[in-house]
């Protein structure tokens, strides 16, 4: 069933587990996410990025998620969220489309400009009974690694707990995406969560924390972060990787198959399996 994100997050916060926020980009991934969460009897957040909105269209992708949440996810709560909204316009469009939560990511702007845009988006979201996630510090990704940033450099981009406290007061966001060592993309062995920083950010802010870039973080580190109060964990790369790997394998081993339904069935199963594994690690099994 489709619910407001606050129902899912409040329960996770109270009971001490994390909920996965999986990115979808099409019908097949959405079905696989819901089937995986249903098998685990787990709540789930389904999110879309601006790139997905450009690819599928806002209305089509919104309707795909909503209708699957209503008709297929009969026993589990599902919430719809915008991941990394970069502009006020993009946030406003998703709110009109019926999202219960948006992420306004102005983290690459100077602090004051980040505050101004986050505040504007948050006020608008609240007026429409929607939750807002803000971002402070820079969560690094492939382009930063390509530019030669090392692990030591990454510390400079991490969230300062004192500044986070001020940021929450100024913007009134509901959830915070801090930069604590995880990166967007898969960089095995290079991503290490600064657990002490995470704890301090929680002490200072008290808002639910969202871990971005968790696809390449070790399970141990993730479990420790959940203990240290991470309530939502974003997973994008892992699902896309599984979908593409399985699709490639299926096509290569069935070169004459022309039925897309047959070709797309194994990738859906691969995504579903990845979803079930993440849910198990995050501790949200049987919490629907
Ligand atoms: Zn992210």
Residue 223: partners with Cβ closer than 8 Å, 6 or more residues away: 281
Token output for 142: 């492939």
Size (the chain), residues: 288
- pLDDT tens for 200-238 read 999 999 999 999 988 889 999 999 999 988 999 999 999
Q: Which helix (H) or strand (E) holds 177?
A: strand 175-178
Number of domains in the chain: 1
Q: Does the CA dihedral 135-141-144-148 come out positive or negative?
A: positive
Q: What is the pTM of this model?
A: 0.96
Residues acting as catalytic residues: 83
Strand partners, 62: none
Rounded distance from Cα 286 to ligand 1 centre (Å): 26
CATH code of residue 162: 3.20.20.70
Rounded distance from Cα 175 to ligand 1 centre (Å): 13
- Give a yes or no: residue 287 inside a domain: no
pLDDT tens digits for the chain (288 residues)?
999 999 999 999 999 999 999 999 999 999 999 999 999 999 999 999 999 999 999 999 999 999 999 999 999 999 999 999 999 999 999 999 999 999 999 999 999 999 999 999 999 999 999 999 999 998 888 888 888 777 667 778 899 999 999 999 999 999 999 999 888 888 877 788 999 999 999 999 999 999 998 888 999 999 999 998 899 999 999 999 999 999 999 999 999 999 999 999 999 999 999 999 999 999 999 999
Domain residue limits at 20: 5-282
Rounded distance from Cα 200 to ligand 1 centre (Å): 21
Rounded distance from Cα 213 to ligand 1 centre (Å): 6
CA distance 141 to 235: 14
- Give a yes or no: residue 288 inside a domain: no
- Give a yes or no: residue 274 inside a domain: yes
What's the burial of 75, exposed, middle or buried (CB within 10 Å: 0-12/13-18/19+)?
Answer: exposed
Residues with CB under 5 A from ligand 1 (ion): 212
- Give a yes or no: residue 74 inside a domain: yes
* Phi and psi angles of residue 21, each rounded to the nearest 5 degrees, phi first: -115, 105
């Amino acid at each position: 069933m489709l619910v407001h994100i606050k129902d899912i997050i409040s329960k996770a916060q109270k009971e001490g587990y994390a909920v996965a926020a999986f990115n979808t980009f099409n019908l097949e991934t959405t079905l696989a996410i819901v089937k995986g969460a249903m098998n685990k009897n787990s709540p789930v957040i389904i999110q879309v990025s601006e790139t997905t909105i450009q690819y599928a269209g806002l209305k089509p992708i919104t309707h795909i998620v909503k209708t699957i949440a209503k008709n297929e996810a009969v026993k589990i709560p599902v919430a719809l969220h915008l991941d990394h909204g970069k502009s006020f316009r993009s946030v406003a469009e998703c709110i009109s489309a019926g999202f219960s939560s948006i992420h306004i990511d102005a983290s690459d702007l100077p602090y004051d400009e980040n505050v101004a845009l986050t505040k504007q988006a948050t006020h608008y979201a609240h007026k429409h009974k929607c939750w807002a996630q803000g971002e402070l510090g820079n969560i690094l990704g492939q382009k930063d690694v390509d530019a030669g940033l090392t692990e030591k450099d990454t510390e400079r981009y991490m969230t300062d707990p004192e500044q986070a406290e001020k940021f929450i007061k100024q913007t009134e966001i509901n959830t915070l995406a801090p930069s604590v060592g995880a990166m967007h993309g898969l960089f095995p062995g290079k991503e290490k969560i600064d657990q002490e920083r995470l704890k301090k950010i929680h002490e200072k802010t008290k808002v639910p924390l969202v871990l971005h870039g968790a696809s390449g973080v070790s399970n141990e580190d993730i479990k420790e972060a959940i203990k240290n109060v991470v309530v939502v964990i974003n997973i994008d790369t892992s699902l896309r990787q599984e979908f593409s790997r399985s699709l490639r394998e299926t096509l290569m081993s069935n070169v004459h198959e022309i039925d897309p339904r047959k070709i797309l069935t194994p990738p859906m199963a691969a995504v579903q399996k990845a979803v079930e594994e993440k849910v198990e690690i995050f501790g949200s099994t049987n919490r629907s």
